[in-house]
Amino acid sequence: MIKKVLIANRGEIAIRVMRTCKEMGISTVAVYSEADRTSRHVQYADEAYFIGPSPSNESYLVIDKIIEAAHASGADAIHPGYGFLSENAVFSERCKKEGIEFIGPDAFAINTMGDKITARKTMIAAGVPVVPGTTEPIQDIKEAVKVIKEIGLPVMVKASAGGGGKGMRLVTKEEDIVSSVSAAKSEALAAFGDDAVYIEKYINSPHHIEFQILADKHGNCVHLFERECSVQRRHQKVVEETPSPIMTEKVRKEMGKHAVAAAKAVNYAGAGTIEFIVDDDLNYYFLEMNTRLQVEHPITEWVVGVDLVKQQIKIANGEKLSFKQEDLKQNGHAIEVRIYAEDPDNNFMPSPGKIRYIDEPLGLGIRHDGYVYSGYEIPMFYDPMISKMIVWGKDREEAIARMRRALDAYTLTGVKTSIPYLRRIMDVPAFVEGRYNTHFVQDHAGELKPEEDKDEQLQDIIAITAFADYLDSLKQSQSKPDNNGKALSPWKLFGRKKSVIRL
Ligand code: ADP
Ligand code: ADP
Ligand code: MG
């Protein structure tokens, strides 16, 4: 039985994992780098171990240091969170050798799914539909051109070792193939140390829909339905929701079965996610499997009523799943937004720095998973995600209304955040109506701009109206000396421009 867990991560996910540990009576051990001395995940843990300099390749990514801290603290298990070492097969294997339970799958599952080419082959063998394309790395350009002739443009050139939206190139013209393959190769080599790339068909009007699965060590596996993650920027998720607004009961059942088959094909144990790319007609294709807890896992927890971290720990303990597929139901609707320290109105430039003041929204149906506090300085060394706002409503409409309230009530000063941008998404008619695909952010760029520069013409009208008002007020003040003899200043009038135009 696991009694003490070391969390090999930082920030919001470290705290998220510790919360469940506390509820289960399990002691928690934090690790931290130089930059994280004042991080809340350190304060939240029962004990904490310093593991080195700020860059993650000198701290959070150094297996020896994590193992050393685990032994020093007497932890009997390690939870890797997401990112960092969570999908590292060497780390999973090392934990096993050291007699420490890795709360996640074994090296075989991580290796098979971590390499996208191997994963594609494994899925084909398991009868799971994959995106049409190659099942071997591209060796030369001639071959690439031949493949493209077969499956047709547009195509995606993708790094086999890719992740986090990196190492991917969309090719729409044949003449771009040479440059795209070499660009994807060099990006993959730099980011993942492996330059193998393959080609798959680009699915038009793509929707990203993924299935949460849970599998125990006794061969039982269930899915916990889907998450819709099509609101993306640069292939990275911005908003996630469940249920998906485009899903039907029939397709949900089929996809769920394929998700379970995918996990079983690698003898999976633990929590995992099967990502699919889905077209407008609900044809779906396996994209990849993430062999870890996902950033957006809370929306599933809320709608299905299952604590996924608790399940991960129980599975690691060797327990059997306590529910069957037919016991699981979707209840209501949940939405998550990822809040980043970045400036959405300045090309999403990172905005690290000190948080002067933070006031988080509260109330019915709001869950806020974060780690920052007033006076906390966001380090520049890691992912600039500050927190995740998750809301639940009895239906999608209520959930959207609740998200608007939550974002309106969220005060955070000192750094720029994506909150205003996320708030605007909640008002875009295509989003509100559930009619969107992965091109949403690009297609609705105009609607997602800040109020002030949405329409220059409108601005002109506002200025002219304000100026006319100014002239009027001048006239009035001249004809009415009892107005204290003062006209309203043009600045005041310009300040009123919104009310002028809205009247
Ligand atoms: P999701 O956000 O759906 O959980 P992502 O693929 O966006 O999945 O990854 C989650 C986190 O893990 C992000 O912080 C991302 O940068 C990081 N990540 C994902 N894959 C890799 C990888 N191969 N190498 C390094 N970091 C990764
Ligand atoms: P990563 O490992 O970086 O998360 P994925 O294979 O999961 O890479 O793809 C990330 C995103 O890129 C998808 O959610 C989708 O928006 C887009 N994408 C990937 N492959 C395709 C494809 N074949 N057709 C259309 N869009 C795709
Ligand atoms: Mg992915």
Enumerate the domain spans of the chain: 4-103, 132-201, 205-331, 338-450, 456-496
Tell me the pTM: 0.89
- Has residue 459 got a pLDDT over 70? no
Supply the DSSP symbol for 5: E
Is the domain defined by 132-201 classed in CATH 3.40.30.10?
Answer: no
Backbone angles phi, psi at 276, to 5 degrees: -125, 150
What is d(CA 385, CA 388) in angstroms, rounded to the nearest whole number? 8
Give me ligand 2 centre to Cα 59, in Å: 30
What is d(CA 327, CA 339) in angstroms, rounded to the nearest whole number? 33
What is d(CA 491, CA 99) in angstroms, rounded to the nearest whole number? 70
CATH topology of domain 338-450: D-amino Acid Aminotransferase; Chain A, domain 1 (3.30.470)
- Has residue 482 got a pLDDT over 50? no
Cβ–Cβ < 8 Å for 389, 296? no
Please name the residue whose Cα sits nearest to atom 10 of ligand 1. 83
| Among 295, 308, 385, 386, residue to substitute to test ligand 1 (most atoms within 8 Å of Cβ) | 295
- Has residue 491 got a pLDDT over 70? no
Class of the CATH-defined domain 4-103: alpha beta
CATH topology of domain 205-331: D-amino Acid Aminotransferase; Chain A, domain 1 (3.30.470)
Token pair 């299952």 is found at: 306
* pLDDT range class, residue 484, cuts 50, 70, 90: very low
Q: What is the pLDDT of residue 252?
A: 98
Q: What is the pLDDT of residue 210?
A: 98
- Has residue 79 got a pLDDT over 50? yes
Compute the mean pLDDT over every residue in the chain, rounded to the nearest whole number. 92
Residue 40 annotated to the active site: no
What is d(CA 31, CA 278) in angstroms, rounded to the nearest whole number? 39
> In this structure, what token pair is assigned to residue 199?
């080609």
Please name the residue whose Cα sits nearest to atom 14 of ligand 2. 208
Q: Classify each residue of 454-492 as buried b or exposed e, where b means 16 or more C-beta atoms within 10 Å of its C-beta.
A: eeeeeeeebeebbeebbeebeeebeeeeeeeeebbeeee
Backbone angles phi, psi at 464, to 5 degrees: -65, -45
Give the CA angle between residues 406, 407, 413 to the nearest 5°: 120
Q: Is 491 helix (H, G, I), strand (E, B) or coil?
A: helix
Q: What is the pLDDT of residue 366?
A: 98
Query: Closest by alpha carbon to 203, among 254, 116, 274, 278?
Result: 278
Does 338-450 match 205-331 at the fold level?
A: yes
Q: Which of 16, 40, 169, 292 is catalytic?
A: 292
Give yes or no for residue 283 CB within 6 A of ligand 2: no
Cβ–Cβ < 8 Å for 372, 378? yes
Please name the residue whose Cα sits nearest to atom 5 of ligand 1. 164
Give me ligand 3 centre to Cα 269, in Å: 20
